[in-house]
Amino acid sequence: MEKSKVLVTGATGYIGGWVVKYLLEEGYTVHITVRDKSKKKKYEHLLKLADQSKGTLQVFEADLLDGNSFIEPMKDCEVVFHIASPFIINNIKDPQTQLIDPALEGTRNVLNAVNTTESVKRVVLTSSTVAICGDNADMKDQGLKAFTEQHWNTTSNLKHQPYAFSKVLAEKEAQKIADAQSRWSLSVINPGFVMGPSLAGSTSSGSFEFIRDYLSGKLLTGVPMLVFSYVDVRDVARAHILAAEKNSDGRHIITNKSFSMLEVSKILKGSAKKKGLLPKFQAPKFMLYIIGPLFGLSSKFVSRNIGYSIQFDNSKSKEKLGLEYRSIETALKEMVEQMEK
């Protein structure tokens, strides 16, 4: 792929910022969309990155719920990186409005704009491993050693794991639109739980909320035996660009290693200033049925996730993309240092 024009949605977000940084360093002309150009503070760090790199940056206004707003930013672009989508794991009051609509309608609107833009040859969509597996118990139920790109989350819905459900709907909609035409091809990036520093300095990403709960002492009384599969944000960003440059179609699991929440606490101990606030115990499962609602955990979530391991097969990312993974320990260390600073 020549160093052409590309569009990045969600460029001011956690993953999007790193994608933009790497594209600029490689010399691309990068179009980004923001909801309000007058709020320069949200994308000022990206303008500075552009000044320090050989690429160029152009900023456009667009709204995920207005398909026509992407026509102008997409003009003459060869690749569209559709990254914009909310990542909210707590305080979800209206899942349809907060998660489903922006994820599903946003994907539909961006890809409909792609269909009217002759220059676009490839779309790289940010999905998630939660579109592959909804509950950790799914692995045991299906008799699997690890999930692959062939598997789909069939257990999430609007009331149970709505964030995961939004990812399933958005990815399936993208595949449906891609299959209905032959001009452009679709690459899907399915990251695990993303960790590592933010280029914006501050972020509303659920990843930082998760680590903040550790550092603030909120989890001091004990953590559930809950396992996530983690990945460095920079590996996720690299995967997006590699998928475009290597024309690698289909889904790509981008995740490094699985850890329990207690194991994460032990890793954080190496860099957290207030080590005494970190949890040292695992809360028994029966207790979580009682106190779970205080942390937004339904009894169904406790039943289907606590005490179950989870593994993903990332071999496609290594073989097709040539991705070499950074250590999660380093990602967490840099993240804590940034947050405490």
- Burial profile 211-226: b = 16 or more Cβ within 10 angstroms, e = fewer: bebbbeeebbebbbbb
pLDDT, mean over the chain: 93
Model pLDDT, residue 91: 66
- Which of 134-148, 183-197, 283-297 has the least mean pLDDT? 283-297
| Domain that includes residue 269, residue range | 5-340
User: Which residue, among 70, 54, 52, has the nearest Cα to 62 in the 3D structure?
Assistant: 70
Sheet containing 257-260: order of strands: 193-195, 227-232, 257-260
Res 201 pLDDT > 80: no
Q: Per-residue pLDDT tens for 150-183? A: 999 999 999 999 989 999 999 999 999 999 999 9
On whether the pTM is more than 0.75, the answer is yes
Please determine, for residue 212, whether its predicted confidence score (pLDDT) is greater than 90.
yes
Domain of residue 318, CATH code: 3.40.50.720
Number of domains in the chain: 1
CA dihedral 65, 71, 74, 80 (to 10 degrees): 40
For residue 33, pLDDT over 80 is answered with yes
Q: Is the pLDDT of residue 146 over 90?
A: yes
In tens, the pLDDT along 51-88 reads 999 999 999 999 988 989 999 999 999 999 999 876 66
pLDDT at 114 over 80: yes
- pLDDT at position 203 over 80: no
pLDDT band at 1 (very low <50, low <70, confident <90, very high): very low
Q: List beta partners, residue 124.
A: 81, 187
- 21, 167, 316, 333: which one is catalytic? 167
Helices (H), the chain: 14-25, 44-51, 71-74, 95, 101-115, 137-141, 162-179, 206-215, 233-245, 261-268, 285-291, 299-305, 315-320, 328-340
Averaged pLDDT for residues 242-254: 96
- Nearest by Cα to 338 from 246, 241, 208: 208
Q: What is the pLDDT of residue 189?
A: 98
| 167 carries an active-site annotation | yes
Q: What is the DSSP letter of 115?
A: H
Give the pLDDT confidence of 287-306 residue by residue, as tens digits: 999 888 877 788 999 999 99
Which has the closest alpha carbon to 314: 245, 246, 244, 232? 232
pLDDT of residue 225 exceeding 90, the answer is yes
Please say if the pLDDT value at position 46 is more than 50.
Answer: yes
- Measure Cα distances from 26 to 7, 120, 167, 311 in Å: 15, 19, 29, 33
How many angstroms separate the Cα of 121 from the Cα of each of 1, 101, 221? 10, 26, 52
CA-based R_g, the chain, Å: 20
For residue 260, is pLDDT > 80? yes
* Residue 47 confidence (pLDDT): 95
